[in-house]
Homo-oligomer: A and B are copies of this chain.
Amino acid sequence: MDYSKFSKELETISGISLTPFKEETKEIDWDAVKENIEFLIGNGVEVIVPCGNTSEFYALTIEEAKEEVKKVVEIVDGRAKVVAGIGYSMKTAIELGKDAEQAGADAVMIHMPVHPYITDGGLIDYFSGIIEALHIPSLIYFKDPSVSDDVIKQLASIDKLVGIKYAINDLPRFAKIVTEVPADKNNLTWICGTAEKWAPFFYNAGAKGFTSGLVNIYPQKSFELLTALQEGNQETIWKVWKEVLPFEDLRAKYNNGNNVVVIKEAMELAGLRAGVTREPVGPLNASDRQEVMDLLKVWGFELKGENVIS
Residues of A that sit less than 8 Å from B by CB: 53, 56, 58-62, 64, 88-92, 95, 113-126, 129, 146, 254-261, 277-283
Which residue of chain B has the shortest Cβ distance to A130 in the bound complex?
B279
Which residue of chain B has the shortest Cβ distance to A260 in the bound complex?
B117
Do A277 and B58 touch across chains, with their CB atoms under 8 A apart?
no
5 residue pairs from A and B, CB less than 8 Å apart: A58-B116, A64-B91, A119-B280, A122-B281, A146-B255
Do B58 and A115 touch across chains, with their CB atoms under 8 A apart?
yes
Do A116 and B53 touch across chains, with their CB atoms under 8 A apart?
yes
Docked Cα-Cα span, A258 to B89, in Å, equals 18
Point out the residues of chain B lying under 8 angstroms from A254, CB to CB.
119-120, 146
This protein's copies in its complex? 2
Docked Cα-Cα span, A95 to B282, in Å, equals 22
Point out the residues of chain B lying under 8 angstroms from A126, CB to CB.
279-280
Distance of A4 from chain B, by nearest CB (Å): 28
Do A279 and B58 touch across chains, with their CB atoms under 8 A apart?
no
Do A58 and B260 touch across chains, with their CB atoms under 8 A apart?
no
Give the contacting residue for A60; candidates B59, B89, B280; CB below 8 A: B89
A122-B280, A123-B280, A282-B125 are contacts. A117–B62 as well, Cβ < 8 Å? no
Docked Cα-Cα span, A64 to B62, in Å, equals 14
Point out the residues of chain B lying under 8 angstroms from A278, CB to CB.
89-90
Do A282 and B58 touch across chains, with their CB atoms under 8 A apart?
no
A119-B257, A257-B119, A258-B119 are contacts. A125–B279 as well, Cβ < 8 Å? yes
Point out the residues of chain B lying under 8 angstroms from A282, CB to CB.
119-125
Docked Cα-Cα span, A266 to B88, in Å, equals 27
Docked Cα-Cα span, A124 to B64, in Å, equals 23
A115-B59, A256-B117 are contacts. A123–B88 as well, Cβ < 8 Å? no
A59-B90, A61-B92, A114-B114 given; name 12 further pairs at CB < 8 Å: A53-B117, A58-B113, A58-B115, A60-B89, A61-B89, A62-B92, A89-B278, A118-B255, A118-B257, A119-B257, A122-B280, A125-B282
